[in-house]
Amino acid sequence: MSASPFDTAPAEKVSHVRPLWGLARKVAPRHTALVVIDMQNDFVAEGGLMHREGWDVSASQEMAARLPVLIAAARKAGVLIIFVRNVYTTDGNFYLSEVWLEQMARARKRPVGAVAAPVFESGGFCGADSWGGEFYGEVRPEHGDPVVTKHRYNGFHNTDLDTILRAHGIRTVVFSGVSTHCCVESTAREAFMRDYYVVPVKDGTAAYSPEDHESALRTLDRLFGEVSSIDVLSAIWTACRTNPIDHP
């Protein structure tokens, strides 16, 4: 194990469990999950709701073309892969409260009716059985991958994500998907609050503007986790297949 660039002694002295120093130890496959968030047509595809609403989805599509490399490296190394999807609307509108409709209308400076109309037309917004709610392109679960359904930004909120992670002995969560400053950041912050190591993937996440993407990554790296990249993580996981990393 290489020397840490900072003094680890104080943390070692007070910690009940020895910390995982260094990225390679953090993302050792046997205690790491790759969580793929909201890679659905309504968030990424042309013709999806975000695109129809005028958002720039090009960065999300470019990221989606890169993400299969990370997923393949994780899968070959034995990393647990979890897909998180959003379901916002149903025929009975179980999930979109007046609070959410007011927020969308206010933030977009549009009447509530104008916001609600596209949400409830043509399958709604990430409807459970709609094209918009389907996984985008090649970024989709394989047989046996857990799929967690959420109805709010935070992937832990009223879901079984934490149960799945704890059942598999997960200590570190690597985050990918969209959007960096919203659902990814909300879920990553909550993961840190629940005492998971957090590793957001800078080129495996995307937002609808470069400013939002970079700002979220700066916040996450400073306060909640260690930002990494597809190349770095893939190299670590590829090496682990022949030289497993010991950890406390």
Query: What does the block give as tokens for 30?
Result: 């046997």
Q: 126, 182, 183, 240: which one is catalytic?
A: 183
Closest listed residue to residue 73, CA positions, set 213, 185, 176: 176
Helices then strands, counting H and E runs in the chain, come out as 11, 5
Give Dmax (Cα) for the chain.
59
Q: Say which of 42, 126, 150, 240 is annotated catalytic.
A: 150
Given a contact cutoff of 8 angstroms between Cβ atoms, the answer to whether 171 and 32 are in contact is yes
DSSP bridge pairs for 65? none
| C-alpha pair distances (Å), 159 with each of 81, 149, 152, 164, 202 | 16, 7, 10, 10, 25
Quick count: other Cβ atoms within 10 Å of Cβ 108?
12
Q: Is 145 a catalytic residue?
A: no
Number of Cβ within 10 Å of residue 119's Cβ equals: 21
The verdict on whether 221 is a catalytic residue reads no
Residue 38 annotated in active site:
yes
| Active-site residue, selected from the candidate residues 26, 38, 182, 240 | 38
160: three-class secondary structure by DSSP: coil
Catalytic residues, by residue number, are 38, 150, 183
